Amino acid sequence: MSRRKQYVPKKPPDDRVTEHIHDGILYKLGRLVHCRRQPDNRLCRGKINGIFTDDPTGEFFSFLDEATGQHRYAFFRSIIVKPTSANRASINASIVKNMKGIKKDK
């Protein structure tokens, strides 16, 4: 019987951007941000998991949207630095709405 080939995971490239300064604020991977996502311009919240600075359309980042559970993109200029209580309530309501939808499907 032949031996199975050992699986060796590949390391991610080291040239990945891990932090970015926009309007004097430092954004790192893993930071929780409130923003308006692209392309539908909806209010959302999530942790940054990728930063892209060398794109001709502008500097943007990818994040995991807490309301939908999907990876989304947003521009750094769309980040809400100080979210109001109405912003937070809107995001929390959308998270609760999606959680109820998941429970009904099961």
Spell out the domain ranges in the chain: 19-105
Would you identify the CATH topology of the domain 19-105?
SH3 type barrels. (2.30.30)
- Cα 68 to Cα 45: distance, rounded to the nearest angstrom: 10
The pLDDT tens digits for 12-54 are: 666 678 888 888 999 999 999 999 998 899 999 999 999 988 8
64, 68, 97, 100, 101 from 104: Cα distances, Å: 23, 16, 11, 6, 5
Average pLDDT, the chain: 87
42: phi then psi, degrees, rounded to nearest 5? -90, 150
Q: Write down the pLDDT at residue 13.
A: 66
**Quick one: which of 28, 40, 76 has its CA closest to 55?**
76
50 residue type, one letter: G
Query: Who contacts 19 (Cβ-Cβ below 8 Å, separation ≥6)?
Result: 26, 27, 28, 29, 51
* pTM tops 0.85: no
Secondary structure of residue 33 in the 3-state scheme? strand
